[in-house]
Amino acid sequence: MVSVTIDGVTVKVKKNTSILEAAKAAAVKVPTLCFLKGINALGACRICLVEVKEGGSGLQAACTLPAAEGMVISTNSKTVQEARQVNLELILSNHDKRCLSCVRNGTCELQTLCEDMGIDDVHYEGANMDRPKDTGSASIVRDPNKCILCRRCVAMCGNIQKIGAVGTTQRGFNTIIEPVFGKSLEDVPCVNCGQCIISCPVGALSERNELTSVWDAIHDETKHVVVQTAPSVRFALGEEFGMPTGEGVTGKMANALRRIGFDKVFDTDFAADLTIVEEAAELIDRVSNGGKLPMITSCSPGWVTYCEHFFPDFLDNLSSCKSPHQMMGAVIKSYYAEQFKIDPKDIFVVSVMPCTAKKYEQEREEMAVNGLRDVDAVLTTRETARMIKQANIDFVNLPEADFDKVLGESSGAGVIFGATGGVMEAALRTVADKLTGENLDDIDYECIRGIAGVKEASLTIAGMDINVAVANGTGNAKKLLESVRDGKKQYHFIEVMGCPGGCVNGGGQPIVSASKRLEFDPRVVRAKSVYSEDVNKQKRKSHLNGEIQMLYDDYLGDENGHLAHELLHTHYHQKAKYK
């Protein structure tokens, strides 16, 4: 421990703690821009400058300056204020300042800094680069004119996700963040996870907007427009309306979507239960009949694309199950259409997802049955919030409402899909009951919960030892699969989610600023709400979902059977790293 004095307050912190972190202990808030906790600490933007009075000298970046015994720091001297203001104005000098039409208007960290630091004019006029937008990706739009070269996206993509789809090219004033050789994101191994978007402090990265097509469908009287909502969306949507992080808004969300004009509002949690029934049957079949092991989950399209690019030797290990929202789309355009005598061609399915990769997944050639797309449009949580605002709905004061029946019932197992480890736990609840032939009470597999990058456990179920592992984020998946490939680890079942923390931290979720991430971890807060809802569910196992049982009895027939495979299963293939 060392003693450091910051703005006259002496605090004790661990040696080499950054001055930025030490300032928190002194109740001092140092502004940042390029810094993102656990991801990026470069000191590149120079917004977090502090003045070292003793124990060093001059202006230094607080995010990279290690605390040492006897340091005396000023965070608010005239020298510091002037330097920060100059640096901020230089960043603004060639920034695209069409803020009112920017997707991040009101949530932009650069905008917030200008307000906090009293910037009412820019004294420097830089050259306007006028670079073209990259709109080739099915999921992500990249606008280099809004980029401030903070490199947060580069650090996330390269250091955390271990993909490296973007990086810095050229030099000096001409520096740009882009894919290699100036290619589009669609032409490099981008997995569409959108972690770059939620890392970006400005509007340089955003999801591809599909609101117009959805509104057009709603206003088309010939279309029967159905919406479905993913498990984790209900624990994040409220944040877009000023509600606390992680607060559940299931009933308000269902009500808002119905008021917007959707003909039916269904719950993707239902399809999560359906996925588990199919996945559990597939796992039991593989274990019992010498199938390809370990079986690896296929619910996360970002992970699946990563596997296709970087680990094609594991493609046969992937579960053949489609992801829940694609299953739901297939069921809506078959079973539901038959039940209510609607022509499937007239049904337009909208998925509300925490995930930008779902936009790419929806367009995959494999995600169709009888020439009809399973899903017609995917909206992120952020897009859905914008739609609710466009409809002039007072979300915070909405009364609660229920999902529509037939495809609206769900179990606690379906809910926990939103958190890393949730798919594994949900599957184990059903697998254990199926193998033992009992309705077991001990169903909380806490050994695979939490945000650790890789979690593993050995379980004994019905006298059988089953080794499982869970990875979240493609960087952690890389570590795990390399250990399996090298023969160092042997598992029966592996869950992988493409985003760190799982879907609760998906690339389409509300963006939590760097300053708020210093105060709390949204992955932890949102996941806590996920498990709270699970505990309060009347049914907590997927195979006990009454509507799921009815679907098999009335329509699908056998679990993992012929019709189930036709509608609910798919295949994947190796991708070239570069086009």
Active-site positions read: 279, 282, 299, 319, 358, 361, 366, 503
Phi and psi, residue 379, nearest 5°: -110, 140
Decide: 509 and 381 in contact? Cβ < 8 Å.
yes
Write the burial class of residue 548 (CB in 10 Å: 0-12 exposed, 13-18 middle, 19+ buried).
buried
Reduced to 3 states (helix: H, G, I; strand: E, B; else coil), residue 4 is strand
Reduced to 3 states (helix: H, G, I; strand: E, B; else coil), residue 391 is coil
Give the torsion sign (CA, 121, 124, 130, 131). Answer: negative
Phi and psi, residue 142, nearest 5°: -115, 120
- In sequence order, the 6+-apart residues with CB closer than 8 A to the CB of 283 are 295, 319, 427, 431, 492, 493
Separation of alpha carbons 526 and 506, rounded Å: 11
Taking Cα atoms as reference points, which of 228, 253, 229 lies closest to residue 239?
A: 253
Separation of alpha carbons 307 and 1, rounded Å: 44
Decide: 39 and 159 in contact? Cβ < 8 Å.
yes
Phi and psi, residue 515, nearest 5°: -65, -40
- In sequence order, the 6+-apart residues with CB closer than 8 A to the CB of 569 are 278, 320, 321, 322
Going edge to edge, which strands form the sheet with 224-229?
264-267, 224-229, 347-353, 377-380
232 DSSP assignment = G
Phi and psi, residue 248, nearest 5°: -70, 135
Decide: 470 and 448 in contact? Cβ < 8 Å.
yes
Separation of alpha carbons 307 and 482, rounded Å: 12
Q: Distance of CA 486 to CAs 318, 479, 577, Å?
A: 18, 11, 22
ω into 301 cis (within 30 of 0): no
Separation of alpha carbons 34 and 32, rounded Å: 6
Half-sphere exposure of 131 (CA within 13 A, CB side): 22
Number of H helices, E strands in the chain: 20, 19
Half-sphere exposure of 564 (CA within 13 A, CB side): 22
> H/E element holding 307?
helix 301-310
Helices (H), 76-194: 78-93, 109-116, 152-155
Phi and psi, residue 410, nearest 5°: -150, 160
The single residue listed with the structure tokens 């992955």 is 523
Reading phi first (left if > 0) and then psi (alpha if -120 to 50, else beta), residue 317 is in alpha
